[in-house]
Amino acid sequence: MASAARDLRYNSRNAVYGDLAYDLDRELRERELSHAGELPRGREVSVPVAQPKVRSVSHVQVREAQKISVLSVVGFAAVAVLALLVLMSYIQLTALSAETVELKQQLSALETENVTLTAQYERMFDLDAVKEAAEAAGMTKPGSSQIYYIDLSGGDTAVIYRQEDPGILSRLLTSLNHGIYAVVEYFD
């Protein structure tokens, strides 16, 4: 029997394929292929009657409740806060862009108005018209009794008071005050 199996498996020289390995089951596959569709010899063919399969469940498996990590909750909260901050910054950026467009429109309207008002001012600034308007209002040149002269021929004097050097504590408090003022002014 062993020799028959060996003869079947190794009897051909063309058992080598592309990877130079023997195909040991080639003869067996060829024999099964040649006898495909035939009834097996010596056995009776009986049609099995299908029995309904009944599956019994002994107990229901319930998965245990999973614990949520505090770190994951904090992480999700941080991501949500950051997403909200990004959204708020985009809203502020949009509002500032709209305000910038509005201010540019106002600037162009004011520049146009400035040009027209400057032209009107130059037309109205006529010395003859000003002189006539002043005389009509009762204005006249000042007389010699209305003019007073101040004599500044004397030397100038100034008094400088010397301030004492502030102590280290005073300088520290002053610089701290300036720092706080700068921070508050920055955020306003």
Say if CB 134 and CB 142 are below 8 A apart: no
How many CA atoms lie within 13 Å of 158's alpha carbon, on the beta-carbon side?
A: 3
**How confident is the model at residue 91, as a pLDDT?**
95
**How confident is the model at residue 32, as a pLDDT?**
83
- Cα separation, 170 vs 176, in Å, equals 10
How many CA atoms lie within 13 Å of 164's alpha carbon, on the beta-carbon side?
A: 4
Q: What average pLDDT does the segment 47-63 reach?
A: 73
| pLDDT at residue 109 greater than cutoff 70 | yes
pLDDT tens digits, residue range 137-182?
Answer: 998 888 888 888 888 787 788 887 877 777 888 888 888 999 998 8
Task: Enter the pTM of the model.
Answer: 0.31
60, two tokens: 């229901």
pLDDT band at 80 (very low <50, low <70, confident <90, very high): very high
* Residues facing 16 on adjacent strands: 22
